[in-house]
Amino acid sequence: MKFKAFVTDNGVNLLEKRFLPALEKTGKSCHLYLTRDHALFLHNLLNGDGVHSVAQFRKEALFHDYRISSNNDDRIAFALDLSLLLRALRSAVAVASEYSASASSTRLEIKLVKKLSPNSTQPMPFLTLETRGYKSAVIQDIPISKPLSRAQVTELQSALDSAQDLPPTLVQVPDLNQLLNLVDRMKLVGDVVNVFISRHGDLSVQVSTTLISLGAEFRRLVVIGEQTNAPSEDQNLSAHARSSRSISRGDGQSVQVSVKHFAKSLQCHLARPDSAFYGIAPQGSCLTVIFQFFIPGSRETDKSISLHCRLPVLDPGSG
Amino acid sequence: MSHSGMEEEEAPDVICELENVQGLVEALTAVRWKRYQDAVLELSEHGIVLIVDENGCLQAKVYLKRELFIRYDYKARGRPRLGVSLGHFVDCLNAFWLPGQFSVVQIQYPGPDMQLLLKSVDSLDSSICAEIRTRIPDTIGWDYNFEPAGANPLTFTVKSAALKEAIEDLEWPGSSIQIILEPDPPSVTLRAEGHGDLQIDFMYYVNSELLVAFQCDHRTSFKYKYKFLRATTSNMPSSVIKENRGSKLSIGRGGMLKVQHLVSIAKPSVSHTYVDAVGYQQPGRIAHIEFFVKPEETED
């Protein structure tokens, strides 16, 4: 089992400034899953609860001289602590910038190693970051879990495959930051948020308790997938009336998710996506958020980067 | 009776709109001295008064004059009173205050189910809504009628920041604070005895920049519970300190202490491109906050 690559400047930038800070909010530890062509950061795919989050990079987006081999179809997966990886990357960047005056560009190598740690007799697996400067090299070892077994990797891959289905209707969220701000206040009110999405571009989020309800409503959002025009007779109704009419007509759907999970999904704005879409999976099985990244300077989707989250739906009784 | 009259929806008691949610949140937070606190809102043609009371020993009022609102439609007969949880009210209002955004919040009472309704009214395509369940407030059992102690008022005005600091400093000695007003030389003394003694003197002639006004014709001294005094300044809005405002303290009959702060609820001006320079700092855009503290015991 071998993995070795150099992180590109763009890769360092993507991870250090954008994705790792965002992913860290979803959960401190995650699985890093490396294949021949992709590197994926996966949250909670092997356990049922929590926000499922999948950040996928084509190898060229992060690395050059990417070499991987394993007897499991060149696939390697292990768990690691994102905050340690982020810290190591930051110090690597700091080291590199110190040497940037020198002509030769610094190289940041990332590889899997086994080392004997001070207090054990068994060699332990590490992800090592090595920054070579002009005169010195800085090596940082990040402890990781034992690589996942063949069965676990298969399980991870099948969880990943089943997570690829798109919700039939997706609405574009206008301002993630603003919504996050609101959801942070909602956390004070209750634990469960009701999310309603319709085919005519309505999105409403609401937290209710016996004493109080707090929510936001967005209308005429951009819709991707199945869409219909809003019936004109609904225009002047209250948000609540419109959503219940829409649900009974079948062109809208609502689910309940944890406010905390919802806030985590919004934290992904730290990865600076160019747009974000919310949708409800068929049969209301989960709330899906898909983030879109453009190729810098264009309005074209960057297919080498993808990020999406799936929020488990609470059954109405458990609220 | 005309038919159309039957169909007409009854207008709510009050619909008002406010531009500076942050200012309102700060003013209300100033009278929130514990997490779960019930408040009574009193509506009238002059504005809204929010009243908070603790065991008949401490009462606070926030006066929101109708001039603070950009719209104030009052239709009620009499003066409706409603009870709400202050915490919920503040938490909800907070949701309408988005950093870097200018938002107008509409407050309406009653809703279809006697709720207090809050709604943002900036845009047709996105809105924030909140509903707060109200309750029928208890009948007033308070006797906070503040009456002057004698022919001449006993009052002093001290810089709010200095007052807050002095009260914070008095925390360690004990649970009870004595306020002494002395006409000659004119001075105010805050004194705490307990685990130790601590006395803070404001001399009118020495600290004129702190003690900006003073009126007292005979020595007066009353003791107040520390936690109640602390409540009068603990959540003082940062804007009060920033604007270097003064707080007015008066002692009335029986030693009833009145503490008054002024909080500006001006239009937010920070980094806003279209600052209405004239509209800023209008005297009408000030909320008055009053605390009434009953003394521990009478001393003559």
Do the Cβ atoms of A220 and B133 come within 8 Å?
A: no
Amino acid B300: pLDDT: 47
Query: How many whole angstroms from its chain centre is CA B251?
Result: 18
Decide if B186 is inside a domain.
yes
State how far the Cα of B288 lies from the Cα of B264, in Å rounded to an integer.
9
Which chain A residues are within 8 Å of B131, Cβ to Cβ? 212-214
DSSP annotation of A284: G
Q: Is the domain of B250 the same as that of B193?
A: yes
CATH number reported for the structural domain that contains residue B184 in this entry:
3.10.150.10
Query: How many whole angstroms from its chain centre is CA A81?
Result: 15
Mutual orientation of helices B86-95 and B21-29 as an angle, nearest 10°?
A: 160
Do residues B61 and B290 touch, judged by C-beta distance below 8 A? Answer: yes
DSSP annotation of A290: E
pLDDT tens track for B103-138: 789 999 999 899 999 999 877 788 899 999 999 987
Q: Is the domain of B210 the same as that of B94?
A: no
- And the tokens for A194? 């009701």
- Among A233-242, B39-48, B196-205, the range scoring the smallest mean pLDDT is A233-242
Decide if B300 is inside a domain.
no
Report which secondary-structure segment, H or E, holds A96.
Answer: helix A82-99
Query: How many whole angstroms from its chain centre is CA B157?
Result: 17
Nearest to A290 by CA among A301, A273, A276: A276
Q: What is the mean pLDDT of residues B163-189?
A: 89
Question: Could you tell me which residues come within 8 angstroms of residue A212 by beta carbon, excluding any fewer than 6 positions away?
Answer: A189, A190, B85, B88, B91, B92, B130, B131, B132, B133
Order of all β-strands in the sheet with B197-203: B197-203, B186-193, B176-183, B220-225
Write out B248-272 in H/E/C secondary structure: EEEEEHHHCEEEEEEEECCCCCCCC
State how far the Cα of B194 lies from the Cα of A191, in Å rounded to an integer.
44
Decide if B142 is inside a domain.
no
Own/partner long-range contacts of A238-243 (Cβ < 8 Å, ≥24 apart): A239/A204, A239/A215, A239/B127, A239/B129, A242/A202, A243/A196, A243/A198, A243/A202, A243/A204
Q: Is the domain of B215 the same as that of B289?
A: yes
pLDDT tens track for A120-166: 788 999 999 998 766 778 899 999 999 999 999 999 999 999 877 88
Q: Is the domain of B88 the same as that of B28?
A: yes
Residue B98: which of A181, A211, A219 has the nearest Cβ?
A: A181
Q: What is the mean pLDDT of residues B10-28?
A: 90
CATH number reported for the structural domain that contains residue B128 in this entry:
3.70.10.10
Confidence of residue B226 (pLDDT cuts 50, 70, 90): very high
Domains in chain A (CATH in brackets) are: 2-162 (3.70.10.10), 169-318 (3.70.10.10)
Decide if B149 is inside a domain.
no
State how far the Cα of A249 lies from the Cα of A254, in Å rounded to an integer.
13
DSSP annotation of B185: T
Decide if B36 is inside a domain.
yes
Domain count, chain B: 2
Using DSSP's 3-state secondary structure scheme, residue A122 falls into coil
pLDDT tens track for A70-88: 999 999 999 999 999 999 9
Question: Could you tell me which residues come within 8 angstroms of residue B69 by beta carbon, excluding any fewer than 6 positions away?
Answer: B16, B17, B18, B47
Do the Cβ atoms of B95 and A218 come within 8 Å?
A: no
State how far the Cα of A57 lies from the Cα of A40, in Å rounded to an integer.
6
Do residues B85 and B56 touch, judged by C-beta distance below 8 A? Answer: no
Interface test with B, best of A173, A182, A185 (most B CBs within 10 A): A185
Do residues B19 and B102 touch, judged by C-beta distance below 8 A? Answer: yes
Which residue of A lies nearest to B131 if distances are taken between CA atoms?
A: A213
Nearest-neighbour CA in chain A from B187: distance (Å): 45
Decide if B145 is inside a domain.
no
State how far the Cα of A69 lies from the Cα of A111, in Å rounded to an integer.
12
Which residue of B lies nearest to A187 if distances are taken between CA atoms?
A: B91
Amino acid at B160: S
Nearest-neighbour CA in chain A from B114: distance (Å): 12
Do residues A157 and A174 touch, judged by C-beta distance below 8 A? Answer: no
Segments forming the whole domain that contains residue B175 = 154-293
Residue B92: which of A181, A210, A214 has the nearest Cβ?
A: A214
Do the Cβ atoms of B126 and A218 come within 8 Å?
A: yes
State how far the Cα of A176 lies from the Cα of A2, in Å rounded to an integer.
39
Nearest-neighbour CA in chain A from B118: distance (Å): 9
Do residues B134 and B38 touch, judged by C-beta distance below 8 A? Answer: no
Amino acid at B222: F
Decide if B43 is inside a domain.
yes
Confidence of residue B140 (pLDDT cuts 50, 70, 90): low
For the four alpha carbons of A69, A75, A76 and A81, in that order, the dihedral sign comes to positive
Which chain B residues are within 8 Å of A215, Cβ to Cβ? 128-130
Which chain B residues are within 8 Å of A212, Cβ to Cβ? 85, 88, 91-92, 130-133
Do residues B173 and B192 touch, judged by C-beta distance below 8 A? Answer: yes
Decide if B139 is inside a domain.
no
Whether A5 shows a pLDDT value over 70: the answer reads yes
pLDDT tens track for A248-298: 888 999 999 999 999 999 999 999 999 999 999 988 889 999 999 999 899
Whether A316 shows a pLDDT value over 80: the answer reads no
Whether A116 shows a pLDDT value over 70: the answer reads yes
Confidence of residue B271 (pLDDT cuts 50, 70, 90): very low
